[in-house]
Structure 1
Amino acid sequence: MTLNIIIGFIVPWILGLGFIKDKKLMFVFVPLAVALATVTDTIGFNYFWFLQPRFRNASLSALPFNLGLYPIVSCFMLYFISNKGVKAVSSVLVTSVFLTVIEWIFKEFDRVTYFNGWNIFWTFISYVVPAVVLYLYSISFFKFFRKSP
């Protein structure tokens, strides 16, 4: 679990707080990213994968990632779209590939196990869908508050 906490929570927050200049963006979008990650993992742990170490509550091992890596990477995605002018499609794809590669590495080291036909392609899709949802939400948010992404 120590590895999950370091890689999934501590390192992402250090990088996020250090490199994302727009802290308001983090304040607004981290809660939604955490919610999306939690929903995705709850479904996944029940039907498609598990992560080491295994606990009675299977999603506990993903908690550092749900509170750290996923929301911080999502905020980096939105930061590059809204503040650096990166195209949304490119940013969503890079974000999804990055998270998929991290999960693939965990899979190669037997930290993640797939079942019920789950594979790395579906993993990629499971990162694309929340990233798109978060981006679409950000469009509405910025439109409502008169700032375009």
Structure 2
Amino acid sequence: MWINLLVGFLLPGIIIVYLFLKNPKLITLMYPVGVATAFVGSDWGFGFFWNVTPTFEHNPSLSAFSYKIGYFPLLSCLFGYIKVKELVNTAFLILFFTIITTFMELLAVWSGKVLYSNGWNIFWTFVIYFAGFIGAFFYLQLLKKYKILA
């Protein structure tokens, strides 16, 4: 469980604070999107398509909680930060984040930290991350359209 806290919450939290100091408005807007996306996506398939170790008998999704409030929001914040800075092409950014995130999960699967079941595989993981980053892109477009972000 300490690994989950360190990798899922503490390290991402440090990076999120750094990004917040650079662009507080963006991080304030993107962090909740990352949390919401993580909870919706994870809880939808948790226990049926995947599990995270260690597993707790009364609340199996507890082991993924730190990732839902740290790692996944960090991804949305980083995605938004790079997109707003317009450092790379949007299609490349979405594909890059999808591939890197999928690879990170593949490492978790290989290490036994994430367990797939009922036909779930790395391809479906790629698809769900791809959809998430497309959603984050459209959210950023809305923020720009309504002049919430410049």
Task: Calculate the TM-score normalised by the size of structure 2.
Answer: 0.91
Asked if the contact 2:49–2:117 (Cα under 8 Å) also holds between the matched residues in 1, the reply is yes
1:35 is matched with 36
Name the CA distance, whole Å, in 1 between partners of 2:89 and 2:77. 15
> Structure 2 regions of 5+ residues with no counterpart?
none
Show CA shifts across 1:36-91 (max 9, x none).
11010001214200010111222211111110111111111111111133222111
Match among 131, 134, 141 for residue 133 of structure 2: 131
* 1:50 and 1:113 in contact (8 A); partners too: yes
- Residue 109 of structure 1 is matched in structure 2 by 111
Structure 1, residues 81-129: CA drift from partner, whole Å, max 9, x if none? 1113322211111111121111111111111110111111111111111
**d(CA) in 2 for partners of 1:133, 1:121:** 18
* Equivalence for 1:121: 123
- d(CA) in 2 for partners of 1:11, 1:76: 14
Partner of 1:22: 23
Quick check: 1:74–1:95 contact (8 Å CA) kept in 2? no
Q: Is the CA contact 2:34–2:75 (under 8 Å) kept in the aligned structure 1? A: no
> Aligned equivalents of 1:61 and 1:104: distance in 2?
17
SS at match of 1:47: coil
Partner of 2:62: 60
**Equivalent pairs, count:** 148
Where do 4+ consecutive residues of structure 1 move more than 3 Å?
none
- Computed over aligned residues only, the root mean square deviation of the Cα atoms, in angstroms, reads 1.5
Paired residue for 1:48? 49
Percent of paired sites with the same residue: 32
Corresponding residue for residue 13 of structure 2: 13
State which of 85, 88, 94 in structure 1 corresponds to 2:87.
Answer: 85
Aligned to 2:75: 73
SS, match of residue 145 in structure 1: coil
Q: 1:19 deviation in Å?
A: 4.6
